């Protein structure tokens, strides 16, 4: 029989002398403990997200240990009790990485052990590997291709054998995640020589191609002015895999680009962005505000037209700088390209801004500016309603939790309704997605709108909201990420599923994830009355 020792978790380590050890053990184990090498700290860390997708190498949680001399990990036993259906899991794996803050399924690290899941809920992994305090251990699952969306996977460490010793006294902690159709990492810090990635957008073309955009913030995570590129990646398999990055605008220390937004008619992609000084460079002067640019792609995002500066057209009467709300714009049923901008109305730093529509009726050859939609708004998004009206969701310039503001125009932006708020959309003042589920028309889903927002005073607990009455009420929502999650955008797939691109887990920079869920999954969400 193997000797036993007690493992203290979450920062409590075993001490070096036998009298001190004795208080944490049973009397029968004291003699054995006097003869063994000092054990180590043991800590389990859940993932930032609460959803896992179908497919291989879906991280469940991480294990960290701290010790001075290294140790031999013989075996690790997990209990999957609490999992909805064991058939949803084909394998459990143990990976080792040197990166401790994220698991990257694109390059998962060293596979130490794996075990096939059958009828028993208990799985034993036998790595027989020497480990050090530099190692992060990841418990990872292969989720079956037909695993049922909404089922739960739960895993708990119930046994550890190290250096031939059966460790006892584990503080039992079950880690649970809900299965969705897909979770794919697109960008992460360090990719392609960049320290940070931020400000995602995504569109789908008629042929199914997905194009995702991002700020490649090469040196720091802050906004302009900075050395920032705008780049895209393409996917032709529904977001499972993504192309090498394609640079749209290459920045420099003297002149960066960022805050890109895309819109499409299904064939052509229209993109706007800002560049240069940034919104809050002080003092800002009318002769040199941030510049606004336009480009387009007619081959699915592979190549793009040269950047065209549209600063004077996009500013209109505004002289003090502005920016487009990053992520997505729209192309209306009549072919008008529309993005929402926030334009500074005064020169003072941190001064007030107006939300306006910046639009084109000739595929981007020329641009016009609407009457102000909202005074002192921030990043905003627009959708077209079934009657041709335009509904704008506007970020508030406030901290903490607050209800989202909306305004409506029935004449293309000449006049606007008074400001009002959606109490169901109370959360952090943050950029978020705002989109139709189905095109304008007579579809049974034509009244469905979608919205994403961090639903807390802080930038976490990202939720996907559904309105079934074109924005009058928002009774249904589901959580997309339980941890830190900031900017996000949505895209409707050809099969009616919903894709969400989001910034998550800022350690030391944001991971950019693509999550795919079904409408049925969303409809099973919270019903607020």
What is the pLDDT, as a whole number, of residue 528? 60
Peptide bond into 484 cis (omega under 30): no
Mean local confidence (pLDDT), 137-158: 97
What is the pLDDT, as a whole number, of residue 158? 93
Is pLDDT above 60 for 13? no
Distance CA 46, CA 184 (A): 18
Helices and strands: H and E segment counts in the chain: 4, 40
Distance CA 15, CA 38 (A): 7
Q: Are strands 89-97 and 136-143 parallel, antiparallel or unpaired?
A: antiparallel
> For residue 279, which of 202, 222, 195 has the smallest C-alpha distance?
222
Domains, the chain:
4-180 (2.60.40.1290), 183-527 (2.120.10.10)
Instruction: For 35-74, write each residue's pLDDT tens digit.
Output: 234 455 788 999 999 999 999 999 999 999 877 677 899 9
Instruction: For 251-275, write each residue's pLDDT tens digit.
Output: 999 899 999 999 999 999 999 999 9
Distance CA 74, CA 13 (A): 20
What is the pLDDT, as a whole number, of residue 351? 82
Which residue shows structure tokens 């996000």? Answer: 488
Distance CA 227, CA 193 (A): 13
DSSP class of residue 461?
A: E
> For residue 479, which of 492, 488, 469, 470 has the smallest C-alpha distance?
488
Which residue shows structure tokens 């001190």? Answer: 20
- Cβ–Cβ < 8 Å for 256, 247: no
pTM for the whole structure: 0.91
Distance CA 391, CA 404 (A): 13
% pLDDT > 70, the chain = 90
Instruction: For 457-495, write each residue's pLDDT tens digit.
Output: 999 999 999 999 999 999 999 999 999 999 999 999 999
Is pLDDT above 60 for 32? no
């Amino acid at each position: 029989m193997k000797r036993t020792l007690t493992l203290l978790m979450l920062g409590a380590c075993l001490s070096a002398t036998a009298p001190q050890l004795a208080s944490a053990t049973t009397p029968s184990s004291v003699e054995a403990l006097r003869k063994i090498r000092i054990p180590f700290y043991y800590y389990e860390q859940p993932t930032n997200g609460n959803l896992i997708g179908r497919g291989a190498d879906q991280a469940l949680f991480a294990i960290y240990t701290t010790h001075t001399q290294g140790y031999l990990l013989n075996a690790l036993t997990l209990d999957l009790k609490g999992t909805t259906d064991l058939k949803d899991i084909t394998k459990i794996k143990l990976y080792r990485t040197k990166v401790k803050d994220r698991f990257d399924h694109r390059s998962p690290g060293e596979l130490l052990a794996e075990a096939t899941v059958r009828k028993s809920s208990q799985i034993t992994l036998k790595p027989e590997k020497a480990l050090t305090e530099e190692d992060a251990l990841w418990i990872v699952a292969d989720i079956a291709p037909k695993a049922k969306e909404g089922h739960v996977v739960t895993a708990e460490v119930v046994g550890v054998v190290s250096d031939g010793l059966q460790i006892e006294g584990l503080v039992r902690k079950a880690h649970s995640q809900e299965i969705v159709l897909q979770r794919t990492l697109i960008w992460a810090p360090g990719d392609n020589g960049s320290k940070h990635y931020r400000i995602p957008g995504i569109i789908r073309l008629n042929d199914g191609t997905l194009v995702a955009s991002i700020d490649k913030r090469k040196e720091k995570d802050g906004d302009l002015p900075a050395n920032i590129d705008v780049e895209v990646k393409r996917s032709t398999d529904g977001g499972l895999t993504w192309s090498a990055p394609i640079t749209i605008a290459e920045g420099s220390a003297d002149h960066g680009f960022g805050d890109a937004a895309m819109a499409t008619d299904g064939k052509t992609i229209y993109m706007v962005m800002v560049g240069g000084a940034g919104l809050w460079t002080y003092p800002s002067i009318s002769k040199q505000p941030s510049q606004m640019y336009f480009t387009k792609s007619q081959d699915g995002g592979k190549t793009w037209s040269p950047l065209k500066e549209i600063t004077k057209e996009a500013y209109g009467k505004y002289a003090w700088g502005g920016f487009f709300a990053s992520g997505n714009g729209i192309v209306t049923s009549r072919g008008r390209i529309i993005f929402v901008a926030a334009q500074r109305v005064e020169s003072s730093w941190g001064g007030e801004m107006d939300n306006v529509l910046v639009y084109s009726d000739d595929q981007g050859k020329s641009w016009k500016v609407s009457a102000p939609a909202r005074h002192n708004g921030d990043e905003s998004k627009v959708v077209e309603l079934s009657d041709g009206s335009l509904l704008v969701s506007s970020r508030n310039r406030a901290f903490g939790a607050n209800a989202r503001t909306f305004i409506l125009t029935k004449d293309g932006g000449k006049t606007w309704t008074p400001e009002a708020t959606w109490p169901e959309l109370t959360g952090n003042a943050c950029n978020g997605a705002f989109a139709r589920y189905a095109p304008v028309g007579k579809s049974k889903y034509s009244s469905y709108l979608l919205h994403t927002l961090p639903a807390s005073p802080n930038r976490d607990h990202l939720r996907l909201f559904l309105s079934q009455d074109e924005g009058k009420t928002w009774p249904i929502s589901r959580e997309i990420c339980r941890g830190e999650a900031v900017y996000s955008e949505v895209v409707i797939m050809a099969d009616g599923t919903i894709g969400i691109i989001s910034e998550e887990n800022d350690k030391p920079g944001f991971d950019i994830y693509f999550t795919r869920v079904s409408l049925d999954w969303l409809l099973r969400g919270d019903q607020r009355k």
